[in-house]
Structure 1
């Protein structure tokens, strides 16, 4: 395991037990972001870096019983918290690094990633791996339940021009990784970037 993977695991292991109780009101924001993916009955979707599985319930509702929902996370404690919350009923949980997914090329219709991009060790390469597992025309949602400015204020820091989530940085990063940015929202109440997998 790389130093970065170890750091991410340690960070989230320490926070897994009380993660949901720290952010109890985020459910509607997750549901609204999932709705933007425009998933249909029978679609196959990955929650990349699923954590405690907060997106799994709205993802399952979107794809219905015939759809496939997979939640992948690097941190066993986060997946254990998802099981304790009963969210494993809504999707298959997989211990996996989004840098090397155990999925076939083009096997998914969409990827949902909440709070994901700031934890990617090699963003262009990692986003390319997400593109690999999505069919041409499939979609990607990069989501956070609060916007960049609100998150920075919560963490007691300033937004820097290097922030990967800034549109001038994110757009070319996505293009270089096989995605085309189609929508970008950065408001106090949410961050949501939508992209389409190029053919």
Structure 2
């Protein structure tokens, strides 16, 4: 029981705590992230190619990290497209700056749950390793749907399959995880998306959804 002198947790305080914890976690790892995972870039390129992101469109890399997807996203949309890289952690955006400059991508400090973009502003969203870090999958997917035009794409990717990722973190997969096939199909449908592809392989996770 919460004592009368203890303020109850509010959505605003929970959100501030999430932001603080996320930034603390990734800030301390940003400088060495590519040393550990930089060889994943071919996987990012393959995922972007498989997604079929429209040439000349607006694509947002949500949770861009160090910007490993940005070269492939620029190639996908071509010279006339727009590439935006958004991340919650300033240190990650600092690491992404060289990739962003090469890809002519705008860097935006932003929370994936409250993106600073207009409704239907994007033709495609790319989100690598994002969903598992968010406290409420359906709420986040609803926000991603808000900024995506009808028929636009959401690419969910990780350069390791769910089993490999679970083993890396010393845990066992469960059927109720956000990226399990059943929960992801339900959460995408409830938030304005139609799941069109799902591939949980040994060496990658790839899911594609279209905006309803």
TM-score (norm 2): 0.90
SS of equivalent residue, structure 1 residue 32? helix
Q: Partner residue of 1:88?
A: 101
- C-alpha distance in 2, partners of 1:141/1:2? 27
- C-alpha distance in 2, partners of 1:134/1:86? 24
TM-superposed deviation, 1:161: 2.3
Matches within 5 A, 1:1-199: 2-83=16-97, 85-90=98-103, 91-198=105-212
Greater helix fraction, Structure 1 or Structure 2: 2
Measured against aligned partners, the alpha-carbon deviations of 1:8-63 in whole angstroms (never above 9, x if no partner) come to 11110011000011012201100010012212321110000001111111000111
Measured against aligned partners, the alpha-carbon deviations of 1:49-107 in whole angstroms (never above 9, x if no partner) come to 00111111100011111100001100000000111x34333110100101111111111
- C-alpha distance in 2, partners of 1:82/1:93? 8
TM-score (norm 1): 0.96
List 4+ stretches of structure 1 deviating above 4 A.
Answer: none
Structure 1 residue runs without a partner (length 5+): none
TM-superposed deviation, 1:165: 0.5
CA RMSD of aligned residues (A): 1.0
Structure 2 residue runs without a partner (length 5+): 1-14
TM-superposed deviation, 1:157: 1.1
Contact 2:53–2:153, Cα closer than 8 Å, also in 1: no
